[in-house]
Structure 1
Amino acid sequence: MSAAGHFGYNASMSNLRFYSPAQLNIGDTAALSENASAHAIRVMRLKTGDTLTLFCGDGFDYECALTHSEKKVTYAKVLSRTAVNNESPLVIRLLQGISSGDRMDYTIQKAVELGVTEIYPLSTERCVTKLSGDRAEKRVEHWQGVAIAACEQSGRTIVPQVHPPLTLVQWLNQHTVSGCLNLLLNPVGAKRLATLDKPEHPIHLLIGPEGGLSPGEIELATQHHFQSIVLGPRILRTETAALTAIASMQSLWGDF
């Protein structure tokens, strides 16, 4: 691509959406990330004047037209913006015991698609994967990338934050849960979601890893105003449990 000379904008809007970590303003020229540039140019074969959508987490989609490329970076001019109102009316904070392999990626991806607001990876007693230091930082960066990609695909313009891992004790010591609807999956003494009133405040959903939460962790959570819920008579995998619970909340109280 060349920036020289005049070009016309392609009137047909591409359905490609990419996240921009930088603030976007109409009339500005924005740089696409290296991955977005490669996808737009090498995979989709977009050319000067073709349009795509960028978003930066402020609640708007920005229609942009490609202008030029330099090495591995492609640039686009911001033409217009459109307010997007597709965020869930529920504030759902997922407290997810860290699962191994691709399970954690899958849980984060689908939870974002379902409208979760924040994700707190928890290092619980039965977690197979243990993270600390640089390894933890790299995993959080990776998980945040998974969340961003899910927003690109699902049309969300607000990117849920994936927080650094904490133990359950650390999380409870750092966060206020009073006044919120605090739920954990535990068949003992559990209620069904349908029996609960629609919450007016944030929801904290606590899900254990593959081996579940330990009895001590369940007791600790219960002492901090978490109540047990059950999602039916069958045992669900950790990734299935989180997503089923979120989808059920959206059906009962949200925008499904």
Structure 2
Amino acid sequence: MPPRIHVPEPLRPGAELALPAGAARHVQVLRLQPGDALTLFDGAGGEWTASVTHMGRSEVRVRPAAHAAVEREAVRAVHLAAGLMAADRMDWLVEKATELGAASLQPLLCERSSLRLSGERAQKKRAHWQAVAVAASEQSGRNRLLDVRSQLMFQEHLDQPAAAGEARWLLSLDPAAVPAHEALAALAPGQAVTLLSGPEGGLAPAEETAARNAGYRPVSLGPRVLRAETAPLAALAALLLG
């Protein structure tokens, strides 16, 4: 199978282009040569057959040939809003959320967040997470990228209106929370979901109350306590692979 490479610009048949630095290094590591095949995608949907036309020490050029309207997206859009957690755990969450098919990831600065970012550091971390999502898309076969959004304060996220027709799930340890299988059965086919989860230590009681008041329905994944990066991925799997 030809290697898959993301190109962050619109692709056109026959239009030779230079790969961006990161993608060029990837192709160089694979030791591809002029004439070798690869698959390109630009995130707008579908993918392109292509070939290498030039391999230089500082530049790699490729030529797209034919577009195939191949989509591997989930039947429902799931938007993940997750409390910021330790950097390695966030990397894991971004990678696996991309593989599972989440549509977007909204990092949230919560009361108990162990990772706190601001200014240039926040911008660099977002760019890093988007690069993790690109790599995961290349590996998993997705032709559309996970949208890693700029971090928000927890309340800023709650203040945003819900999209028309979407369901809102709050992952909760409350014994009275609705079991995930019941919440899943209540969804309409293809209904979009925003899934809210906390950082290490979970959401603070006031945050959970505020989320409920903002229309989030408490949903339980069972009696076991899952790690901050595990719980949203378990819920994503139920929503996207079921």
The TM-score, its normalising length taken from structure 2, stands at 0.94
- Among candidates 216, 235, 239, match of residue 245 of structure 1: 235
Between the aligned residues of both structures, percent identity stands at 37
Deviations 1:184-228 (A, max 9, x none): 111212111211212353201001001110000000000011111
| Cα pair 2:98 2:146 within 8 Å, conserved | yes
SS at structure 1 position matched to 2:87: coil
Equivalent positions of 1:90-239 (< 5 A) are 90-176=76-162, 179-188=165-174, 189-196=176-183, 197-199=186-188, 200-239=190-229
For residues 85 and 144 of structure 1, the distance between their equivalents in structure 2, rounded to whole angstroms, comes to 20
Rg comparison, structure with higher value: 1
User: Residue 39 of structure 1 aligns to which amino acid in structure 2?
Assistant: H
User: What is aligned with 1:10?
Assistant: none
1:40 aligns to 2:30 (yes or no): no
User: Residue 90 of structure 2 aligns to which amino acid in structure 1?
Assistant: M
1:30 aligns to 2:17 (yes or no): yes
User: Residue 124 of structure 2 aligns to which amino acid in structure 1?
Assistant: K
| Aligned pairs, number | 238
SS at structure 2 position matched to 1:37: helix
**Residues 213/178 of structure 1: CA separation in 2 closer, same or farther (3 Å cut):** farther
SS at structure 1 position matched to 2:113: coil
Aligned-pair distance for 1:29?
0.6
**Residues 47/70 of structure 1: CA separation in 2 closer, same or farther (3 Å cut):** closer
For residues 67 and 123 of structure 1, the distance between their equivalents in structure 2, rounded to whole angstroms, comes to 45
Unaligned runs of 5+ in 1: 1-13
Q: Which runs of 4+ in 1 moved over 4 A?
A: none
| Cα pair 2:34 2:55 within 8 Å, conserved | no
Deviations 1:97-126 (A, max 9, x none): 011131000001101110100110000000
SS at structure 2 position matched to 1:238: coil
Deviations 1:36-58 (A, max 9, x none): 222222x2221110011110011
| Cα pair 1:178 1:225 within 8 Å, conserved | no
For residues 25 and 185 of structure 1, the distance between their equivalents in structure 2, rounded to whole angstroms, comes to 43
**Residues 38/157 of structure 1: CA separation in 2 closer, same or farther (3 Å cut):** same
| Cα pair 1:177 1:225 within 8 Å, conserved | no
Backbone CA RMSD of aligned residues: 1.4
- Among candidates 54, 70, 73, match of residue 40 of structure 2: 54
For residues 54 and 229 of structure 1, the distance between their equivalents in structure 2, rounded to whole angstroms, comes to 39
- Among candidates 5, 19, 31, match of residue 6 of structure 2: 19
| Cα pair 2:45 2:69 within 8 Å, conserved | yes
